[in-house]
Amino acid sequence: MSRNDLPSLLNGRVILGAIGVAGLLVLITLFSIGWTTPDPIQDFGFAPADLTIIPAPSATLNVTPTFTPDPLIVGTPTLGPGVIGLGGYVQIIGTDGEGLRLRVEPGLNGELVFLGYDEEVFVVHDGSQNIDGYTWWYLVAPYDQGRAGWAADEFLGAIPSP
């Protein structure tokens, strides 16, 4: 085939045939994807909206829970002023800003859990244990149960419950 034969291949019948085949393919495609029929209208009916009412903030004071010994339990001790005991509140004192080391177990060899700061308040949950020349008490912060550990009573002062 030479260059001179090219115009004879592009005659009117070939061009019209190609356009006809392309048009037929377009019609088949439109029919197959559904452009020939409209989508049916779906009736969903009445759909009520969910309504959530959120009350406005009130002027209620924040009240911290306090420990109240059960008077029906026999042997519930009542602590005198300045006495450290189970269920009582203590405050870290006398560390001159260096803080008090609270430990995993009582004793100077116990692993350090965290450092309690002067005037920080705790509730006594366990104790007393006399180890390494100190009396040890297990303390838990009333605002965070994760702040708990054993501390020597030399740096604790009993305070009245809030």
What is the distance between the alpha carbons of residues 78 and 88, in angstroms, rounded to a whole number?
9
Higher pLDDT, 103 or 43: 103
Q: What is the pTM for the complete model shown?
A: 0.52
Instruction: Classify 61 in phi/psi space as left (phi over 0), alpha (psi -120 to 50) or beta.
Output: beta
Long-range contacts at 68-75 (CB < 8 A, ≥ 24 apart): none
Hey, is 101 helix, strand or coil? strand
Residue pLDDT, tens place only, 64-117: 666 666 655 555 456 667 788 888 899 999 888 899 999 999 999 999 998 998
DSSP, res 65: -
Domains of the chain: 89-159 (2.30.30.40)
Q: How many alpha carbons fall within 13 Å on the CB side of residue 143?
A: 6
H, E, C per residue of 106-125: CCCCCCEEEEECCCCEEEEE
Do 64 and 162 meet the contact criterion of CB atoms below 8 Å apart?
yes
pLDDT beyond 80 at 35? no
Percent of the chain with pLDDT over 90: 34
Q: What is the pLDDT of residue 161?
A: 79
Greatest CA separation found in the chain? Answer: 121
What is the distance between the alpha carbons of residues 29 and 36, in angstroms, rounded to a whole number?
10
Residue pLDDT, tens place only, 96-110: 889 999 999 999 999
